[in-house]
Amino acid sequence: MNSNNKTSEKNAQNRLSHQSIGDEWVLRLYVAGQTPKSINAFKNLKAICEDKLDGKYEIEVIDLLVNPQLAGDDQIFATPTLVRKLPVPVRNIIGDLSDTERVLVGLDLFQKSISNKLMINQDETI
């Protein structure tokens, strides 16, 4: 892993991070180098966050090849792994996040979106 990648991810992180306080989401994406899987995961995550979290999120990308000592703290054994640090409880989602539904389930967003939809539907029927 070269430093260019790291900086580009840092940039990405900066781009994506918001300073808003409240029900802010803190997500950590662990990758092992710039593999296709890593890139896919990052792309997918960004898309989901943009779609569901409405800017109230922060993504930190950690390249384990650069910072291997961080792998133990979040119990990482597979890559890529997405860790939802906030809101608690901490959730681990592994894989390249291509299965959006499962990602939403993992992030506890699926239920929310369904219930929202249901509520909307109910509103419409009323």
Partner 1 sequence: MEKKIIPTTIQTLSKSLTGIQGLDEITFGGLPKGRPTLICGNAGCGKTLLAMEFLVRGATLYNEPGVFMAFEETIEELATNVASLGFDLNELIAQKKLFIDHVHIERSEIEVTGEYDLQGLFIRLNYAIESIGAKRVVLDTIESLFSGLSNSNLLRAELRRLFRWLKDKGVTAIITGESGDKTFTRQGLEEYVSDCVIVLDHRISEQSSTRRLRVAKYRGSTHGTNEFPFLIDETGFSVLPITSLGLDYQVSSERISSGIPRLDTMLGGKGYYRGSSILVSGTAGSGKSSSAASFAFSACERGEKVLYFALEESPKQIMRNMLSIGIDLEPLVKKGLLLFHSIRPTFCGLEMHLANMFRAVNDFSPLSVILDPINSFIIGTNEMEAKLMMIRLIDYLKLHQITGFFTSLTLLQSDTEQTDLGVSSLIDTWLLLRDIEIGGERNRGLYILKSRGMKHSNQIREFLLTDHGVELMDVYVGPEGVLTGTARSAQESKESALKLFSKLEIQRKQLEMERKRKAMLAQIELIKLEFEKDEAEALKIISTEQERTLRLAEDREVMGRNRQADAPNIESIEVKP
Give the nearer residue to partner 1 in terms of CB position, either 16 or 80.
80
Q: Is residue 26 involved in binding partner 1 (CB under 8 A)?
A: no
Q: Is the peptide bond before 68 cis (omega within 30 degrees of 0)?
A: no
Give the nearer residue to partner 1 in terms of CB position, either 101 or 123.
101
Q: Is residue 95 involved in binding partner 1 (CB under 8 A)?
A: yes
Residue window 48-87: x/- pattern of binding to partner 1, with contact defined by CB under 8 A? ----------------xx--xx-xx--xxxxxxxx-----
Distance CA 62, CA 64 (A): 6
Q: Is residue 16 involved in binding partner 1 (CB under 8 A)?
A: no
Q: Is residue 28 involved in binding partner 1 (CB under 8 A)?
A: no
| Shortest Cβ 7–partner 1 spacing (Å) | 21
> Which of 10, 43, 102, 117 lies at the binding interface for partner 1 (CB under 8 A)?
102
Which long-range contacts does 43-50 make (Cβ < 8 Å, 24+ apart)?
A: 44/96, 44/97, 44/98, 44/100, 44/103, 45/82, 45/97, 45/103, 46/16, 48/97, 48/100, 48/103, 48/104, 48/107, 48/109, 49/16, 49/25
Give the nearer residue to partner 1 in terms of CB position, either 99 or 120.
99
Scan for tokens 């800017």, then name that residue: 55
